[in-house]
Structure 1
Amino acid sequence: MKPDKIKKLIMMIIPAAVLVALSADLLQGDVWTFWTWYLLALVLGVAVMPLTGRLFRRFDDKGWIFSKVIAIAITGFLTWFLVTVKILKFTAVTCVAVTVICTVLSILLYRKEQKDGFECIPFAHLNLIYAEELLFFAFFLMWTYFAGFHPAAYGTEKFMDYGFMEAMMRSKTLPATDLWYSEGKINYYYGGQYFAVFLTKLSGTKVELTYNLMRTFVAGLAFILPFSLVHQMVKDRLGRNISGWKKKLPSVTGFLAGIAVSVAGNMHYVVYACVIPWIQKLKGEEVSSYWFPDATRYIGFNPDVADKTIHEFPCYSFVLGDLHAHVVDIMFVLLILALLYAWMKKVRTTKITLENTEKKEFWRRQLLMPQLLAAAALLGMFHWTNYWDFVIYYTVTCGVILIMNIIGQEGKVKWILAVTAAQAAEILILATLIILPFTMQFDSSNMVQGIALAQHHSLPHQLLVLWGLPTILTVLFIISLLVEKLKVAENRSLYRLLKSVTLPDFFAVVMGLCAIGLVLIPELVYVRDIYENGNARANTMFKLTYQAYIMFGMTMIYAIFRLLIIGKNKILKALAVIGLILFVWTCGYFGNSVHAWFGEVWKPSEYKGLNATAFLETDFSEDVGGIKWLKENVKDVEVVLEANGDSYSEYERVSAMTGLPTIMGWYVHEWLWRGDLADINAKIADVENIYTSTDEAHVKSLLEEYDISYIFVGSCERKKYGAQLNNDMLKSMGEVVYQDDEWQTYIVKVK
């Protein structure tokens, strides 16, 4: 090997070696689980590259980084499907077997592709692949390290998220028994937590660690997936023959796009954490403090009015540490956006009209496009991971299809409508069919109670603070594009105009307009649910603007690039520079929130580890011994009685930390999931009767009715029932299998 090649190889190895050494130093004992997950994702991604390469054949990296998500989606979803229809049991062996079979099929596809002369591994762009892997590893490591400073699965809705994982870890069937409603199955969108459990079982790791690792894994993907997509968009816009400093633009723009989606905040931080305190300081007034969740609780809270709303975004989610459906779904929605762009590239370069194709072949090619079939599968999966994302991205997909058919069918209205209707129907039918095992068991009647006109509206300055920056940049970009294209007389028809716009410009416009629409919808209508009194728009705004933020992030950065590098108008260039400065300023939210939530992360000695249940030793010292006993000694799904309590409280710590179901859990959550308040209240009364009644026969009948195996008496039970707690009666119901003499906590195994 020549000396210059040896030197280049060494220079490539050094950053990887540094990152590996840094991970070992920072993560301490957790590093083995971290490495296991990274390597598992890498191997899975390589295994499905024959398929990914087909889907993204016009990408420079052939969709390399998206292959990780595709592999998880295929193997995880197929395992879930086979378990749900009762063909297989949900065990680690099943997860491994399904993954191995998928890998074998992928190898067969690879051999076929070799015979066809198609190369799925982009050897000409190995530097790009290497850079993507380094960046993913770095951001995955960064978020994992931060998580180790605040790993507790306690607070907000973490009991629910972690409890779902524990319930599925011990269940061999799906959906698992509802840990807070022992007489039923989980009746919620549990797909996000399922994928965390699937990877946990597949990798042979522990759920105590992977609860945190799943959210940091998604956070790493939330950076690198936008990087890859926007990198390709900028590369396509610049063309192949770029030289000099412009060669760096795809990487720089991609990096900023990754930051915009996964790390940046919004202008709320700039205004309320920086500008207003600075003005107050100049005036000699008391300086306002800033609490990072305020950026997600602004409309309805400042000023304080009856219409309370939620407008979260990825960085906040990654810092807070919830493992909700919308968080895990980030990697899948970014995948579907990339698939749409890959499909658009195919349509733009492959002319399929009746003039150049036989009618039968025309429809076959229109309806069997692999990117659209893959998008249909993902959209179907969204019913189970986060139904809101199905509605949002089905609409986005249909919009893209319509506009691309205007171009592809050369403005012929009849064929535009025919092809669009056929493709939209095909996607809807496929999406509906593949998710039937979920929808047939899922009752959403209480979660969605119709659509209503918005009675409250956000103040204009609040909309400007939260979404003004990306909206203004998007609008400036669209205006500049229209002015540029409409200068040419022949572009003044819709078909000619759309055809004249380059593909990356067009895709950025689509994402930007969709994002603007998602922001505006809650100002007009909202989905009615149980939170309607006082929080009518909250859930609608939350789910819609979360996705708007993701699309805005990529559009905003692309728009800045387009106005600065391609555009010629000096005023727009100046505005783009201002936009870039403001965007960089919003990234200060990351530092503020990380410090506020995780503490002094620059001190590795403060690292606590990833164990999500370690908080039990300090926060539930009275109960920790009993909870550990249950986890170690109860292997099956058996009902454990504990006192029920309000949502978001310390109640249900036993069921959440063990996955063992109890009669009744968090009140509002079960109200949302079940809807039958009379039944819920009756069960609450039954729980109280078991703990406090003096009627032995009645207590025994309730224990039998609910098939209770264990009775837990600890801190929450003593707090809730006080002197009414009938310890003698409870101990007479069976054998005391655990007793903590210091705290008087005990567990009774029912006869």
Structure 2
Amino acid sequence: MAGELAVQVLFWLAVVKLLQLGTWPALDRTLGNLAAAAAYPASVLLFTLGSWYCGLLGLPVWLALLPFLAAIALAGARGFYGRERLRPALTWDLAFLIPFLFMLEVRWINPTISYAEKFMDHAILASIMRQPIVPPLDPWYAGGTLDVYYYLGYWMSGVLGLTAGVPSTVTFNLVLPTVLGLAVVSLYALGHLLLDRHRWLPVLALFIPNPSAIYHIIIGDSWFDVLWGSTRTITNTINEYPIFSMLWGDVHPHVMSFFNQGFLLFLLVFAYLRWGTLSMRGRVLLCGLAALSLGSMPGFNSWDVLVYAPVTLVFGLLVWRRYGSLTWDRAKSWMVLAVVPPLAILTYLPFYLQLNSPGIEGIEIVPTPSAPVEFLLVHGLFLAVLLAYCAPEIRKRPYLLLAAVPLLLAGYPAAAIAAVPLVYLVVRRRFSATDTLAILGLAIILVTEIIYLVDNMGETYFRMNTLFKFYLPAWFLMGTASLSIIGKWLQGAGIEDRIPAGIRKGLPILVVALLLIAPSAINIDFGYGSRTLDGAAYLEGSHPGDAAAIAFLRDLPGDHIIIEAEGGDYTYYSRVSSFSGIPAVIGMPFHEYMWRGDEGRIGQRSADVRAIYEQPSRTTDLARAYNATLLYVGASERDRYTISIPTETLELIYDREGVQIYRIPA
């Protein structure tokens, strides 16, 4: 088994590297020494886009691999992959591989698809890998499709798994290592733009915890409480940070989008700093990449585009402001503004037209803003750096501190805290890349103290999604800015020059060793550890009957709809559809209600499933009403319902270890 898993990991890495090699030559003339880095995230986005259109057109998704193979053949024939290019590019290969291995070890320790959002994440992934069509089938709502949800990250993961020949339960545990590796490459490349030395510092935004985690460590909380408590710091909200999301292990949209956020920031900063040196071809290519990244965001995690569309416009204005003063270059300087947004829309226009999500219900004023202490426990580290950065300006113009007074008087003290560095950064009008990233991040945490987006989370958790989904982009923006500022301070202090050469050379090796040792040194299995990469392996010990039956269903050919017990959200129920990818009549009901609202008649489906199991006179007719082909009876169904089904009219196709599967006659 271990050997088989190792082969699957190698095949997965081979596909990722193949995609990178196929994209790299097209970027080389424009991005220069950063082309090999940008080719990692760019290639995955391009493959996702190409395979998605294959699915839309009813073509095999593996056809999307052909352009990359052709590009490799053409570039290889021209001698592109020479030693003089490949050797320097090893830096970027290691920048991807080391965090990949770190997260691979984390997932090996804690691989189970068993808690939080993991059942949902794997259900969508398995559905896509079972039938890679567009829009994908909804595994928890028979007859429905996932046009109600932003599923593109799952599509990306699924087609990589299909191409590499990796089953969905292992693909599940290769996604986050890949996302982290791509994110590290993107932020390390961003560091090459922002810093002359210490270019690795922006990468730390992915690994450092918030101050709340430090507080929970100091007061002696358990490791689990440190992680969980630090992400529930602001009352009735979620405030995750990247390393928590990675360790927690949900293959969820907000996590899968990490690499794309870092990639877009890299592209925008590159445009801002180097637009004047680019040829027209290079500018078109850069705009195309930015459009690819921005256009993918609604499909990965639609909340991200609410942040990054304005971020793109801000950087577009800065490019025009910086490079549009020359008459001959004025029109070209508008390209980021004029080309990227419409091209981003056109790139995935069919996706947007298909999307049928209930969306946001409005914008409201926050009635109970964050407590200042809680706010600082989330953002305090970056705010401290930015305030120190603004200290000379504060001493020079202390009267600008009065800008925070209206917010204090209005009852928004946390917003007032964020307003102080924001005002000083805006007023001094430098608008360097670092300053701009900081301004944008501060603006997000200030605005979300005053307004929130209305959804159907109820009165208690009215801000939960707003802070959850906006704080992560704010973390990327403020984090990369703050860590770049620290890098400039270190560079100015000349600290690196005081360290003996031997220690300087050995330090990276030590850091890498500690990174790879850390997952085994700390408790990250949360009680679910299995020491494998197969997220379903634990079923063989805890639910052997289901394990064997699900294995049977995963190999069962044909298009099916299954009936299984519905037992609410975040429970073991819905496990058959989740692990097999076969759509159930109804899965976790609140998830479906979030996606479909009252029109989904979720309660009726739950009642019908109960009737199918408990009212034999209605079983067949109700099952046929949902076009169901299979009826599953296992321990969970017997616990949930008083089973009474017309076995004489159903065809028994599986009967082992307490599980029966019946075929419903057409």
- 1:107: Cα distance to partner? 5.7
Asked which structure has the greater CA Rg, the reply is 1
Structure-2 change in CA distance of 1:637 and 1:559 (3 Å): same
Verify: 1:613 aligned to 2:536, yes or no.
Answer: yes
> Counterpart of 1:322 in 2: which secondary structure?
coil
Distance 2:487 2:181 in 1: 23
What's the CA shift string for 1:137-163, capped at 9, x where partnerless?
222112112211111111001111111
Determine the structure 2 residue equivalent to 1:262: 206
Determine whether 1:181 maps to 2:141.
Answer: yes
Q: Residue 355 of structure 2 is aligned with which of 442, 448, 451?
A: 442
| Deviations 1:538-577, CA, capped at 9 Å, x for gaps | 1111111111222233222211121232379xxxxxxxxx
Change (3 A) 1:607 1:135: farther
| Correspondence 1:105-124 to 2 at 5 A | 105=71
C-alpha contact (below 8 Å) 2:275/2:283 kept by paired residues: no
Match of 2:451 in 1: 525
CA deviations 1:381-414 (Å, max 9, x no partner) are 11211111112111111111112222222399xx
Out of 92, 97, 107, the position equivalent to 1:137 is: 97
Q: Does 1:292 align with 2:227?
A: yes
- Residue in 1 aligned with 2:363? 451
Contact 2:106/2:524 (8 A) holds in 1: no
Deviation at 1:346, TM superposition (A): 2.6
Which consecutive unaligned segments of at least 5 residues does structure 2 have?
397-424, 495-510
Q: Which moved more, 1:591-600 or 1:430-439?
A: 591-600
CA spacing shift, 1:160–1:618, aligned 2, 3 Å: same
Task: Say whether residues 1:720 and 2:625 are aligned partners.
Answer: no
* Equivalent position of 1:44 in the other structure: 19
**Distance between the aligned counterparts of 1:148 and 1:706, measured in 2?**
38
Q: Determine the C-alpha separation between the residues in 1 that align with 2:317 and 2:550.
A: 55
Cα offsets for 1:606-630 (capped at 9, x unmatched): 9721001112123323422221221
**Are the equivalent residues in 2 in contact too, given 1:181–1:663 (CA < 8 A)?**
yes
The question of 1:739 aligning with 2:662 is answered no
Whether 1:598 and 2:529 are equivalent positions in the alignment is no
Aligned to 1:313: 241
Does the CA contact (< 8 Å) of 1:222 and 1:261 recur in 2?
no
Which secondary structure state, in structure 2, belongs to the residue aligned with residue 737 of structure 1? strand
Q: CA deviation at 1:132?
A: 2.9
SS of the residue 1:264 aligns to: coil
Distance 1:107 1:288, change over 3 A: closer
Residue type of the alignment partner of 1:535: Y
Counterpart-to-counterpart distance in 2, 1:518 and 1:122: 45
Matches within 5 A, 1:224-623: 224-235=185-196, 250=197, 253-258=198-203, 260-274=204-218, 276-277=219-220, 290-300=225-235, 308-349=236-277, 369-410=284-325, 423-445=336-358, 447-478=359-390, 506-566=432-492, 595-598=522-525, 608-623=531-546
Give the 3 Å change call, closer, same or farther, for CA 542–725 of structure 1 in structure 2.
same
Deviation at 1:369, TM superposition (A): 3.1
Task: Rate the CA distance shift 1:401–1:121 in 2: closer, same or farther, 3 A.
Answer: farther
Pick closer, same or farther for the CA change 1:506–1:682 going to 2, 3 Å.
same
Contact 1:136 1:221 in 2 (8 A): yes
Note closer, same or farther for the CA distance 1:495–1:419 as it changes in structure 2 (3 Å cut): farther
Displacement of 1:228: 2.5
Query: How many Å apart are 1:129 and its aligned residue?
Result: 2.4
- Deviations along 1:202-252, one digit per CA (max 9) or x if unpaired, are 1122222111011111122233321232034212xxxxxxxxxxxxxx3xx
Q: In structure 2, how many angstroms separate the alpha carbons of the residues matched to 1:420 and 1:684?
A: 57
Displacement after TM superposition at 1:121 (Å)? 7.0
19, 29, 40: which one aligns with 1:68: 40
Q: Is the 8 A contact 1:56 1:339 kept in 2?
A: no
Letter in 2 for 1:714: G
* The one of 587, 602, 620 aligned to 1:700: 620
Q: Once the 2 structures are TM-superposed, how far is the Cα of residue 532 of structure 1 from its aligned partner?
A: 3.2
Contact 2:37 2:186 in 1 (8 A): yes
C-alpha separation in 1, matches of 2:375 and 2:551: 48
Distance 1:396 1:480, change over 3 A: farther
Q: Name the CA distance, whole Å, in 1 between partners of 2:290 and 2:222.
A: 50
Q: Matched residue of 2:629: which SS?
A: strand
> Aligned residue for 1:579?
none
Aligned length: 616
Question: Partners in 1 of 2:335 and 2:97 — Cα distance?
Answer: 42
Q: Give the share of equivalent positions with the same residue, in percent.
A: 23
2:98 is the counterpart of 1:162: no
Q: Could you tell me whether the CA contact under 8 Å between 1:152 and 1:611 is conserved in 2?
A: yes
Answer yes or no: is the 8 Å Cα contact 1:477–1:563 preserved in 2: no
Aligned equivalents of 2:573, 2:458: Cα separation in 1: 25
1:593–1:672 distance in 2 versus 1, CA, 3 Å: farther
C-alpha change, 1:29 and 1:102, in structure 2 (3 Å) is closer
Distance 1:637 1:206 in 2: 18
Instruction: Tell me what 1:282 maps to.
Output: none
Decide whether aligned partners of structure 1 residues 103 and 407 sit closer, same or farther in structure 2, where only a CA change above 3 A counts.
same
| Alignment-mate amino acid for residue 163 of structure 1 | A
8 A Cα contact 1:383 1:435, kept in partner:
no
Q: Does 1:640 align with 2:554?
A: no
SS in 1 for 2:522: helix
1:482 to 1:49, Cα distance in 2 relative to 1, 3 A? farther
Cα displacement string for residues 47-106 of structure 1 (whole angstroms, at most 9, x for unaligned residues): 11122224413xxx233122121111112211202321x2x33x4xx41x3222244257
Partner of 2:572: 650
The one-letter code sitting in structure 2 at the alignment partner of 1:451 is I
Does the C-alpha gap of structure 1 residues 665 and 153 become closer, same or farther in structure 2, counting only changes over 3 Å?
A: same
Secondary structure (helix, strand or coil) at the match of 2:534 reads coil
Measured in 2, the distance between the counterparts of 1:140 and 1:287 equals: 27
Which of these residues, 198, 202, 213, is aligned with residue 163 of structure 2?
202
**C-alpha contact 1:49 1:67 (8 A) present in aligned 2:** yes
> Which letter does structure 1 place at the counterpart of 2:202?
A
Q: Using the alignment, how far apart are the partners of 2:136 and 2:484 within structure 1?
A: 43
Task: Determine the C-alpha separation between the residues in 1 that align with 2:465 and 2:182.
Answer: 25
Unmatched 5+ residue regions in structure 1?
1-23, 236-249, 278-285, 301-307, 353-364, 485-493, 569-583
Query: How big is the shift at 1:473?
Result: 1.0
Shift of 1:110: 8.5
| Contact 1:75/1:99 (8 A) holds in 2 | yes
CA RMSD of aligned residues (A): 3.4
Match of 1:83 in 2: 55
TM-score, length of structure 1 as denominator length: 0.76
| Paired residue type of 1:296 | T
Question: Whole-Å Cα distance in 2 between the matches of residues 204 and 183 of structure 1?
Answer: 28
Contact 2:5 2:533 in 1 (8 A): yes
TM-superposed CA distance for 1:333, in Å, is: 1.4
| Map 1:50-61 → 2, pairs under 5 A | 50-57=25-32, 61=33
Return the letter of the residue paired with 2:159.
F
Instruction: Give the letter for the 2:440 counterpart.
Output: C
Give 3-state SS (helix, strand or coil) of 2:50's partner: helix
Q: Which amino acid aligns with 1:207?
A: S
- Any conservation in 1 of the 2:125–2:581 contact (CA below 8 Å)? yes
One-letter identity of the residue aligned with 1:725: I
Q: State which of 164, 170, 174 in structure 2 corresponds to 1:213.
A: 174
Q: Could you list the per-position Cα deviations for residues 1-34 of structure 1 after superposition, in whole angstroms to 9, with x for gaps in the alignment?
A: xxxxxxxxxxxxxxxxxxxxxxx9xx76522222
Change (3 A) 1:457 1:79: same
| Alpha carbons 1:53, 1:121 under 8 Å: kept | no
